[in-house]
Amino acid sequence: MLKNYFRLLFRNFLKRKVYSAINLLGLATGIAVLSGTKHFEEKHVVFADSNFFEIFQGQAVAGDPKTAMHSANTLVLNESTAIKYFGSAEKAIGQTLNFEGNKDYKVQGVVKDWPEKAHLQWDLLCSTLNFGDINEPNFYDLNYFTYLVLKDHADAKALEAKLPEK
């Protein structure tokens, strides 16, 4: 039975040479692209605005994280994630990561891994400048945090008392 399928395949290939060649080339290209693509799942993807590194101190390893978030479709990686995807922090700069086949983000900076005791954990820090365009199917946990930087002699307790509970 299998022998008949190959015989039929060969006959059709000879009858329709151009059509068969195009299909074979497309199949070969698809297999090559599929085998060259790496798929990862990240649990700590955070969206932040351009002021993130004015409030939080991240130690730059490559690129300039302070300006990285000033453009849409850009992100900053922590060092271990940059190594996982690209082999090194330096190689990560300028590379593109694709989210679920929908949106490309360009790596603009790499910082040292965030302290484990910090309440905000992230591997990928994405710019919010295009946040209205986000239509990602796997962003289930959308929580927002607001951080305030107080002046040196400000009374944090007095400010907290003025804020509503919810």
Higher-scoring residue by pLDDT: 29, 98: 98
The predicted-structure confidence for 44-69, as pLDDT tens digits, reads as follows: 888 888 888 888 888 999 998 888 88
DSSP 101: T
Instruction: Tell me the pLDDT band of 137, cut-offs 50, 70 and 90.
Output: low
Measured distance CA(110)–CA(33) in Å, rounded: 27
Q: What is the pLDDT of residue 54?
A: 86
More confident residue, 99 or 139: 99
Instruction: Please indicate whether residue 159 or residue 20 has the higher confidence score (pLDDT).
Output: 159
At 89-116, the pLDDT tens digits run: 999 999 998 876 678 889 999 999 988 8
CB 86 within 8 A of CB 80: no
Q: 124-127 and 45-48 as β-strands: parallel, antiparallel, unpaired?
A: parallel
Q: What is the mean pLDDT of the chain?
A: 79
The domain limits of the chain are 2-36, 45-133
**Among 83-92, 94-103, 153-162, which stretch is predicted with the lowest mean pLDDT?**
94-103
Three-state SS for the chain is: CHHHHHHHHHHHHHHCHHHHHHHHHHHHHHHHHHHHCCCCCCCCEEEECCCHHHHCCCCEEEECHHHHCCCCCEEEEEHHHHHHHHCCHHHHCCCEEEECCCEEEEEEEEECCCCCCCCCCCCEEEECCCHHHCCCCCCCCCCCCCCCCCCCCCCHHHHHHHCCCC
